[in-house]
Chains A and B, each alone.
Chain A
Amino acid sequence: MKLEIRGLTKRFGSFTANDGIDLTVEEGEIHCLLGENGAGKSTLMNMLYGLLEPTEGEILVDGEPVSFSSPGDAIDRGIGMVHQHFMLVPVFTVAENVALGREDVRGPGILDRRASARRVRELSEAYRLSVEPDAIVETLPVGVQQRVEILKALTREAKVLILDEPTAVLTPQETDELFAIMRRLKAEGTSIIFITHKLREVRAVADRISVIRRGKVVGTTSPQASEAELAELMVGRKVNLVVEKSEREAGAPVLSARDLVVVDPRGHQVVKGVSLDVRAGEVLCVAGVQGNGQTELVKSLLGLVRAEGGSITLAGEDITHDSPRARLERGIGYVPEDRSSDGFVGDFSIRDNLVLDLFRSEQFSRGPALALRAIADNAEARIEEFDIRTPSASTHVAALSGGNQQKVVVAREMSRPLTVLIAAQPTRGVDVGSIEFIHQRIIAERDQGVAVLIVSTELDEVYALADRIAVMYDGRVVDVVGPDTPREEIGLLMAGGRDSTDGQNDVEDIA
């Protein structure tokens, strides 16, 4: 099936989200839609899927103009969509989720579960999705849940499949699996619209690439284009993909963890005796596949989860039992992994979020009262300094793009004197332009002598920032290596390929 978009425009009041977009997706093509957050990709897809009504322009399916007033219409014309946030019922089985909305019945009101399960199994085998129809969705890893979403679209006979930022939630391995599935779907004649802002992925899987910027298609190109060319198209200016970073002699250890043990609420040990030193003026990157204890390690360093064993010292003082507030006040800056849940209060203004952990300070309060003038001045200064793109300081942070939200968090944490900066996934879901900026700021902190601990699952980021790399696997630091260690070697370590070599991690497994 061939999908054509001609002059599609969407306006919200005076704001033009999509401006005369032309796009053609051929049958059996993986067409990649590349653009920064807020460029208008989602608006475009929501019009294709019948969630939004276009202001102008038309959509043609196999040369025939169509208009969708609901997703149901789009589905009937063979368009399927996998949303970034899955639309699944967690307590239902895979088969039940797939059948939802068009259940197989044996009679009025009697479900035919067996038929549903059979259908799932057949499709799963045909496309080698390896999805078990009777598994409960909430027990499945995200990557498999995503395949359930794809299955859902396939059972509704989707000929054009829209994948909205599908890799944002996936590990590198899961991403590779997804790409394999996409190639098989393509071979069967399904067209795929793949929305992303990750340059590497685009080049790996796309047949054609359309770059969208500020609501307009600014270019269509082939995957042979270099990452730098794509980034420039996307951002509209030259982007420096390599962080400029001078050699710097690291100082004494500032933040040290010794034999740190963290137990999750279900009683499993997730951090199994980690020892780390972060030295003044260096960036220590913790690399590893998502879910190997990094999240809990970082939270225990800030005191958000309790360390069941081991100790944490900051500049020689034991802070193992300090509250998060005490640690923040001692000069730890913290950029949390999940910014919308831990990093900011979405329906607070930018102004208020910029002082979320500073409002008690002398600068921003007078006794029990907030110093509104100082808070407002601070906001103006930070917005300017960190180039936060916003209509105004009183805009709610929830209304900003991911990159700008992250800039708010980073700006806040860097607006007080730090001794240690801990940043988990500092650029996840952040557009290229903002990644460049945030990386520069992190290196600037390092150059001022701050001890920096970065946790990242993206090897590109690790290589861009690290002075030393600690690789975590299964709750332990497997090894600490230099920044010039080859990718393959680190990849092996990330998969637990080498046993612990530095004795200090040999802590008995209590669980």
Chain B
Amino acid sequence: MSEAAATVQEEEKQERSARLRDDIVTTMLAIVAALLIGAVLIAFSYERSLDSLSYVFSYPQDFFRHSGDAIWTSYEAMVKGSVGSISALSETLERAAPLICAGLGVALAFRAGLFNIGAQGQMIVAALAAGYVGWTWDLPVGLHLLVSIGAAVVVGGCYGGFVGALKARTGAHEVITTIMLNYIALLGILAFALLHPAFQRPGQTEPLSDRVADSAAYPVIGDLHLGILVALLAAALTWWILDRSTLGFQLKAVGSNPEAARTAGMSVPMAYTSAMVLAGVFSGLAATMLVNGDRFAISSTLFGTIGFDAITVALLGRGKPLGTVLAGLLFGALQVGGRAMEATSVGTSPDLAQVLQALIVLFVAAPALIAALTRRRRREPPPAFAAPSTQEEAA
């Protein structure tokens, strides 16, 4: 009996690792497919390959040679520019840190059944809070940083929690409210604040803030600020909340079946509100990576698309903390590497990084597409399955 139970558990473990392997294979295939399409785009945006297209029927090898050069040069620059040196690597890590934090916020809300599109807005208000504390207050080193982060986290948490409370009390859909609050944060609060003396840099007429004081900055090793460590701690915390805490148990139950959760005596409004507070907290943490880590001045262009990339990071990470970290690192590398591509003789546009991100997510989100690509392999008997999938991972 116990022997049978043991084999059953063994089987289950195998099944779980098979599922994990499926996830990894799908993601890897998505990345490979995205890079292949990216390669075509590089070829067709390189001037010399385009020129050689005009006589491609007489000298096809010219087109292929130029295209191959362009692709090789671009991707080589991308790899070198993102992980090829210590300084490239630290830039990648710095870029990944806010993506990971905001991605964790999206992932956590997602597990509670909420689609948080509001990371962008939560980051904006949190950045203003962190910044304000960072450049106006005068506190000892260390404490100043903590208070500044605390301000960001509290304000971000409130901005997120407001969405949760609205949903809990009135049933307002969080997708609508978060999108609207993004606009309010960017076009309302931020635009107003940056022209207000409390936020605008003294002597500046442009809507641009000051930078935080040295005492409110993340510690630095070499070129690298330690925001990435905070991001990893945040991931560990998210894992603990989701997998080990009673709060996470409720969030997941509500996310998966609110009726059953309610019947079991859980408070669904409380779960929605706390999930969105936590989402806002993680977005707030992401904002500190820019304000206290990179020590950027706050402007309307500072935030780029981080809050939206966070959604794709969480999606690619399958809503799991570790997955989100890996996805954040990948996207950080793509974005940093994308800038390096532009500096080559081929001059591929850094926008390609965005295109690659979008393609990866598209392929991951369209499992049917990947399934179609892998169908032939699936039909083979199980022993053959392991071999090609490991090859896939190697590629």
Contacts and interface: CB of A to CB of B under 8 A. Distances in A.
A329 interface: yes
Interface stretch (A200-208, A241-249, A312-320, A387-395): A387-395
Contacts, number: 72
A372 B256 contact: no
A342 B265 CA distance: 11
Determine which residue in B12, B252, B253 has the highest number of CB atoms from chain A within 10 A of its CB, and name it.
B253
B249 A370 contact: yes
Nearest to A413: B264
A71 interface: no
A327 to B, nearest CB: 8
Nearest to B4: A391
A392 B262 contact: no
Contacts of A347: 256
Contact of B266 (A325, A327, A342, A344): A325
B11 A391 contact: yes
Interface in B176-194: none
Contacts of B12: 391-392, 394-395
Nearest to B249: A359
B260 A369 contact: no
B245 A329 contact: no
B247 interface: yes
A346 interface: yes
Contacts of A368: 245-247
Interface in A305-360: 323-329, 334, 336, 341-348, 352, 356-357, 359-360
Contacts of A344: 257, 260
Contact of B257 (A325, A334, A346, A357): A346
B93 to A, nearest CB: 30
A304 interface: yes
B260 A341 contact: yes
A175 interface: no
B172 interface: no
A345 B246 contact: no
Interface string A39-77: 000000000000000000000000000000000000000
Given A370-B246, A391-B12, A395-B12, A323 B260 contact: no
B45 interface: no
Contacts of B263: 302, 304, 324, 334, 336, 342-343
Interface in B1-56: 5, 8-9, 11-12
Nearest to A367: B246
Among the interface residues B5, B8, B9, B265, which one has the most CB atoms of the partner chain A within 10 A? B265
B264 A357 contact: yes
A365 interface: yes
Given A329-B265, A348-B252, A348-B253, A360 B246 contact: yes
A365 B266 CA distance: 15
Interface string A410-425: 0000000000000000
A328 B265 contact: yes
Given A325-B267, A368-B247, A370-B246, A392 B8 contact: yes
A345 B262 contact: no
4 closest A-B pairs by beta carbon, nearest first, are A325-B265, A357-B264, A356-B264, A342-B263
Given A345-B257, A357-B265, 11 more contacts: A329-B265, A343-B260, A345-B252, A345-B260, A365-B246, A370-B244, A372-B244, A391-B12, A392-B5, A392-B12, A394-B12
